[in-house]
């Protein structure tokens, strides 16, 4: 199948498919006219690549274990578990940082609201004035 058909069958853009090929995640043969031709296993490979991208892995990380998971189950690929654990640690660090940023923003919002409230009350005319 040609690249356009592979794109339609997987939902991956032609640009992504070309990128996957430059990263050696998928392989094509070339016709005499230079067109890329993929075999039927490319569909499953692209869908697998998309799955791992949806988990937050980049193509370099995927390249390290893709061939193993295409041949056998994830549980039997020694390369997968450490990569998953490392990814989870990174996500946990990001969550801590985001929670700190969130706390800082909430603190600033409360401070601004208090300052606005004080300023509003100072600008009100006194009720005892004629």
Quickly list DSSP for 92-111.
HHHHHHHHHHHHHHHHHHHH
Examine the domain organization and report whether 69 and 106 are in the same domain: no
Integer CA distances (angstroms), 1 to 5, 6, 67, 96, in order: 6, 7, 21, 46
What per-residue confidence (pLDDT) applies to 127? 56
- Output the tens digit of pLDDT for each of the chain's 130 residues: 999 999 999 999 999 999 999 999 999 999 999 899 999 999 999 999 999 999 999 999 999 889 888 888 887 888 888 999 999 999 999 999 999 999 999 999 999 999 999 888 888 765 555 5
Can you tell me which residue has the tokens 């892995």? Answer: 57
Query: What's the CA gap between 28 and 50, in Å, rounded?
Result: 18
For residue 49, give its domain range.
1-74
Vertex 119, ends 118 and 122: CA angle to 5°? 90
Residue 20 in any domain: the answer is yes
- Domain presence at residue 129: no
Q: Could you give the C-alpha distances from 102 to 37, 56, 65, 81, 97, in angstroms and in order? A: 49, 22, 35, 31, 9
- Token couple for 123: 């600008």
Q: Specify the 3-state DSSP secondary structure of 29.
A: strand
The answer to whether residues 65 and 112 belong to one domain is no
Same domain, 4 and 66: yes
**Number of domains comprising the chain:** 2
* 113 is a domain residue: yes
User: Which pLDDT belongs to residue 77?
Assistant: 85
């Amino acid at each position: 199948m040609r690249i356009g058909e592979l794109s339609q069958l997987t939902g991956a853009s032609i640009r992504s498919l070309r990128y996957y090929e430059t990263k050696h995640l998928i392989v094509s043969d070339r016709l005499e006219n230079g067109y890329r031709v993929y075999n039927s296993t490319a569909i499953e490979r692209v869908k697998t690549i998309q799955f791992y991208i949806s988990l937050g892995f980049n193509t370099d990380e995927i390249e390290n274990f893709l061939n193993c998971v295409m041949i056998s189950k994830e549980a039997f690929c020694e390369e997968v578990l450490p990569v998953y654990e490392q990814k989870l640690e990174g996500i946990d660090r990001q969550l801590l940082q985001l929670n700190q940023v969130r706390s800082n923003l909430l603190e600033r919002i409360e401070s601004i609201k208090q300052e606005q409230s004080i300023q509003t009350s100072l600008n009100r005319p006194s009720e005892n004035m004629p």
